[in-house]
Structure 1
Amino acid sequence: MPLTGHCLCKAVTYKADVDAPLLTGYDHCDDCQRQSGSTYSLVVVVPKDKLSVTGPLKKWEGTGSSGKSVWRWFCGDCGSPIAHDPDAAPEIIALKGGSLDTEIKKTLKPEHEIWTIGKLPFCQEKLEHPHERMP
C-alpha cells in the first residue's frame, strides 16, 4: 500500500510508492525540533525516487552535521512541513509522519530514535533502536 499524505490546507499532496517505510522513528535533532515546533519530529524514511509531490512546495536549505545541505520541504501556502531531504543521503527522504493520511499514520510503528544526542532530557520514551546520529 503506498504512503500518501498532504499539508494542512491540502494544497500539497504526495505519494510514496512503497510497501513499507525504510525506517520510522523520532528525529531529535535541533533542526527537526524547530521545524516541528515540538520535542522531536516523527519521520518516515522512503526512497526518494519512489516519491511524487504536487502543489506549491517550497524548499529551504540548511546545513547538516555532514556540512552538506539539508533541504526542508514545506507547503508554500500554509507552511506545513512535508519532508527533509539530506544531500548526505541522496537516495532517501524523510517524510514528516504527521503529514501522512490519517489512516496510514495510525498504523506507524516507530522503532528508531535518531539524533539522540539532541534528545531533550524530559523525553522519557525509549525506542528499540537508538542512534546518537543518523544511522
Structure 2
Amino acid sequence: MPLSGHCLCKAVTYTVDIDAPLVTGYDHCDDCQRQSGSTYSLVCVVPKALLKVEGPVKKYKGMGSSGNAVYRWFCEECGSPIAHDPDAAPEIIALKGGSLDTEIKKTLKPDVEIWTVGKLPFCQESLAHPFEHMPPS
C-alpha cells in the first residue's frame, strides 16, 4: 500500500509508491523546529522519484549545514509543512510525518534522531537512536 498524505486544508495531496518510509525519525535542527513550530519535526525519508504531489505547493529555499540548498515545501493555501528537500541528498525527500494520512501515521516507528546537537535542553531523553548531526552514509 503506498504512503499518502495531505496538508491541513487538503489542497495539497501526495502519494509515494512505497510501503514504508526508508527512515522515520526525529529531526532536532533549528530549521525543523521553526518550520514545525515545535521542539522537533517527525520526518519520513522516501525516494524523491516515487513522490507524486498535487496542489499549490510553495518552496522556501534555505541553506543546510552542507552549504547546499534545502527547499522546505508547504501548502500555499494553509501553510502546512509538507517536506524538506535537501540538495545534498537529491535522491531522497523528508516528508513531514504529521502530514501523512492518519492510519499511516499510527504505524510509524521512529528509529533515529538527527541533529541532536540542536535538541532543546528540556527534551534530553532519547526518543530513538541519536546522531549529533546527520547519520553516516
What letter matches 1:60 in structure 2? Y
Equivalenced residue count is 135
| Percent of aligned pairs sharing the same letter | 81
What letter matches 2:54 in structure 1? T
| Residue equivalent to 1:51 | 51
| Residue equivalent to 1:125 | 125
| Residue equivalent to 1:80 | 80
> CA-atom RMSD, angstroms?
0.8
| Residue equivalent to 2:108 | 108
Q: What CA distance in whole angstroms lies between the structure 2 residues aligned with 1:42 and 1:85? A: 14
Deviations 1:97-126 (A, max 9, x none): 000000000110111001001000111331
| Residue equivalent to 2:2 | 2
Q: What CA distance in whole angstroms lies between the structure 2 residues aligned with 1:101 and 1:117? A: 30
The Cα shift of 1:127 comes to 3.2
| Residue equivalent to 1:98 | 98
- Name the TM-score, length of structure 2 as normaliser: 0.96
Q: What CA distance in whole angstroms lies between the structure 1 residues aligned with 2:16 and 2:3? A: 5
Q: What CA distance in whole angstroms lies between the structure 2 residues aligned with 1:93 and 1:78? A: 21
The Cα shift of 1:134 comes to 1.5
SS in 1 for 2:73: strand
The Cα shift of 1:17 comes to 0.6
| Residue equivalent to 2:22 | 22
Runs of 4+ with >4 A deviation = none
Q: What CA distance in whole angstroms lies between the structure 2 residues aligned with 1:22 and 1:62? A: 24
Q: What CA distance in whole angstroms lies between the structure 1 residues aligned with 2:22 and 2:131? A: 15
What letter matches 1:48 in structure 2? K
Q: What CA distance in whole angstroms lies between the structure 1 residues aligned with 2:95 and 2:59? A: 13
What letter matches 2:79 in structure 1? G
Q: What CA distance in whole angstroms lies between the structure 2 residues aligned with 1:110 and 1:128? A: 7
The Cα shift of 1:129 comes to 1.6
Pairwise mapping of residues 56-71 of structure 1 onto structure 2 (< 5 A)? 56-71=56-71
Long gaps (5+) in structure 2: none
SS in 1 for 2:103: helix
| Residue equivalent to 1:89 | 89
